[in-house]
Structure 1
């Protein structure tokens, strides 16, 4: 859908919407041996942390497709696990997925570590790449400076042409690389704009609320260590699980006790990894202990997830321990303590008995739908014009602040930019935000409103 809105002098809007049915689009596969920075490059191209990145091999295990765009061209970007010709066990299945991505892509981005130079594994991958007869772009990653760029000449020996030096971490030459990828697209792409891979869910909450127990219940086996001692889980653990007939990537994380700057030792690093897991996820399943009062630690977790811009679902665990009296007080606590996240879907579960666990998927889908929701520019401006006519901003300094133009700049999470004739009060912005939810939904997602007041034209003219 293409939204076109035209500003007119009488503060009106005209809009024309053209339906663009997206057919086959080019597929770009990012491949290479483990730990060369493939997922970092994927995130750089997407402009957000979609792929999980850690400084250890084997974090990405499956082919995961993302919708991407550059210079008006849409394409499907496929992140793959590290390819190793001598892989065994799980690593062998990861390598097979990477090989399949190589053979089905329209363009292959072959990533190597410029600091290491060509390896035996790289040369083995080249043999497969040549057999695909697809355009291959040799990317020399981790070239963080001009001096390091000059040292990539060894990679000519791979026989794939000139190595293209970049720094995926810092963005060096990434735009030029994208131009090169676009130029390599075939006239008739074979790929279809693929459904994205399993959605990533960060399982977060304060210690001992039952995160690992819930993961094990969903998986139907012991994927995570469970103990009554708080803090059993230290590192995030990725698991592909099925909930309500759909695969999800569920990341069990360490319980957040303190703010990172106040944590120390193992707890400090566990907190950092948990933050990274939330950033890498699309939706956070925030677990709370329904049998205990909502705590300051719970509030801290909710604030962290909201500030991360991720979709959110609240899971009240240990519901089997909630009696009528506790239920009465819990409802009052929710009204009092969780008003700032009243938009998050809520599900009452028991990891111990399995109560309502299958309902989690429905809430996750609902939250992700709200997270990716968009409003056309024309519809948004008509809506905000009607809203201001019915409930205008209070007059301040003999002036009535007004939205001149509004647009939704992004989704995941929804971000709106309001161009105004004067600064807006926070209370009125909260009013706009509340009405957006009432009229359009945006269930399960934070909403960001950015106000850009028009600069005054009454400026002193200096000669």
Structure 2
């Protein structure tokens, strides 16, 4: 089993640019950020995308109340707890506002925590790095970086300093041992453990009708019709007082770690609640991870015809960015529809792990271009030349061409849908990687033939006589 991803915390006063830095490091949009309620402000959790390492980023968000004085109490205590639980922390300060007493208080607490720490002096664009960081060196943090989270200046070096020795992202992916690994994710109390119990045919998971309790991932191996599976349930219960740390209490962290180890995800929704914001957030996390997906709408048996039609319409509207996923309506408690899930899981896993020949992909690319040409850029047509496989789970198709950086997002989505439909990929997202074709003659001078050289000499002599 792969080790868990390390966590990187972003800590600081309000309005110093923590959220901007979080978005820069995770390369995320707000809709794909996991908001976990229960703190002064909701923390955000995402996968780090800067650097080669695989890690989870936690933006503590709410290290403030209405004034900096509160840092001496509960808020500073919360920051310290987050820092102790994470593997490294970025302490963000405002380079334009300058150093204040709140920064000094928080820095002292973070130093005592003993966590790997770097100081990010933000909003340093257009300023001299040495000058803007000078007064902050009084905080006693050895690693100091002048950055601009908004523009990206200095962020890569900051992240590399803290994560450079961490294992690469590939080391956390599911092992290929012939088993299909299924992660069961969803909000508290939607019926995840009941579904797992139904699949396993035994009371392997303790189930309570109490939402919000802290959960560990629990694995169970089983076989069905000669196929081997491992089911990863993120709803194994334990008492809150026995959790090991603040970051591990975030269900989003546990979900991300479960996604690392899975090939297929069952996202469980509660039909009685409809589609909540947290459901959409979890769906965004799954889509961003690239894992194959089956959407499971539980407690379907308790709805009348009008309620069922309303839920189906809501699914069509709110899950529009995951149309590749099959949707199944079940009752985990009574077992109706549960058996059909395995066909969807097998189909999604097969699609996510299927390889395709370069010739086939290139012919499909040519057909897509013939049906709908790329747009013109500065009067020139974008040229896409050939395609080949670039990875599995999710299937990644690499397309080579000219001016690919200018290819609009709408046309990229057209290509994704075209490839998905033509290849019959059901249950898995597809990713495109665009690469600029190299000019094989760049930097090379044409070698003239003897006849061309003689003609060149005659032209040169003619020009000289005219002078």
Distance, in Å, in 2 between the alignment partners of 1:232 and 1:198 is 30
Deviations 1:254-293 (A, max 9, x none): 49xxxxxxxx937635432331111111111111112222
Q: Give the match for residue 300 of structure 1.
A: 281
Q: Give the match for residue 251 of structure 1.
A: 232
1:404 to 385, 405, 408: 385
1:438 to 421, 428, 432: 421
Distance 1:199 1:281, change over 3 A: same
Could you list the runs of 4 or more consecutive aligned residues of structure 1 that deviate by over 6 angstroms after TM superposition? 455-461
Deviations 1:45-72 (A, max 9, x none): xxxxxx44359xxxxxxxxxxxxxxxxx
Distance, in Å, in 2 between the alignment partners of 1:374 and 1:457 is 29
Q: Give the match for residue 284 of structure 1.
A: 265
Distance 1:266 1:376, change over 3 A: closer
Distance, in Å, in 2 between the alignment partners of 1:369 and 1:234 is 30
Q: Give the match for residue 101 of structure 1.
A: none
Counterpart contact for 1:282–1:311, Cα < 8 Å: yes
Deviations 1:189-222 (A, max 9, x none): xxxxxx9432111100111110011111222221
Aligned 1:121-132 pairs, distance under 5 A? none
Distance 1:197 1:406, change over 3 A: closer
Distance 1:207 1:416, change over 3 A: same
TM-score (norm 2): 0.53
Q: Give the match for residue 197 of structure 2.
A: 216
Q: Give the match for residue 388 of structure 1.
A: 369
Distance, in Å, in 2 between the alignment partners of 1:457 and 1:374 is 29
Counterpart contact for 1:204–1:285, Cα < 8 Å: yes
Q: Secondary structure, in 3 states, of the residue corresponding to 1:429? A: helix
Distance, in Å, in 2 between the alignment partners of 1:395 and 1:387 is 16
Q: Secondary structure, in 3 states, of the residue corresponding to 2:380? A: coil
Deviations 1:83-112 (A, max 9, x none): xxxxxxxxxxxxxxxxxxxxxxxxxxxxxx
2:433 to 434, 450, 456: 450
Q: Give the match for residue 221 of structure 2.
A: 240
How much does 1:457 deviate?
9.8
Counterpart contact for 1:201–1:251, Cα < 8 Å: yes
Distance, in Å, in 1 between the alignment partners of 2:214 and 2:331 is 19
Q: Give the match for residue 371 of structure 1.
A: 352
Distance, in Å, in 2 between the alignment partners of 1:292 and 1:412 is 31
Distance 1:459 1:373, change over 3 A: closer
Structure 1 window deviating more from structure 2 (426-435 vs 392-401): it is 392-401
Aligned 1:106-145 pairs, distance under 5 A? none
Distance, in Å, in 2 between the alignment partners of 1:396 and 1:269 is 45
Counterpart contact for 2:420–2:430, Cα < 8 Å: no
Counterpart contact for 1:417–1:450, Cα < 8 Å: yes
Q: Give the match for residue 38 of structure 1.
A: none
Distance 1:294 1:244, change over 3 A: farther
Distance, in Å, in 2 between the alignment partners of 1:232 and 1:170 is 31
Counterpart contact for 1:212–1:252, Cα < 8 Å: yes
Distance, in Å, in 2 between the alignment partners of 1:319 and 1:249 is 26
TM-score (norm 1): 0.54
Aligned 1:154-303 pairs, distance under 5 A? 170=167, 196-232=177-213, 234-243=215-224, 246-254=227-235, 265=246, 268-303=249-284
How much does 1:223 deviate?
1.3
**Structure 2 portions without partners, runs of 5+:** 6-164, 237-244, 445-467
Distance 1:254 1:219, change over 3 A: closer
Q: Secondary structure, in 3 states, of the residue corresponding to 1:235? A: strand
| Matched positions, count | 271
Q: Give the match for residue 359 of structure 1.
A: 340
Distance, in Å, in 2 between the alignment partners of 1:417 and 1:197 is 26
Q: Secondary structure, in 3 states, of the residue corresponding to 2:377? A: coil
Q: Give the match for residue 403 of structure 2.
A: 422
Q: Secondary structure, in 3 states, of the residue corresponding to 2:215? A: coil
Q: Secondary structure, in 3 states, of the residue corresponding to 2:432? A: strand
Q: Secondary structure, in 3 states, of the residue corresponding to 2:307? A: helix
Q: Secondary structure, in 3 states, of the residue corresponding to 2:229? A: strand
How much does 1:396 deviate?
2.4
Counterpart contact for 2:398–2:434, Cα < 8 Å: yes
Distance, in Å, in 2 between the alignment partners of 1:386 and 1:247 is 39
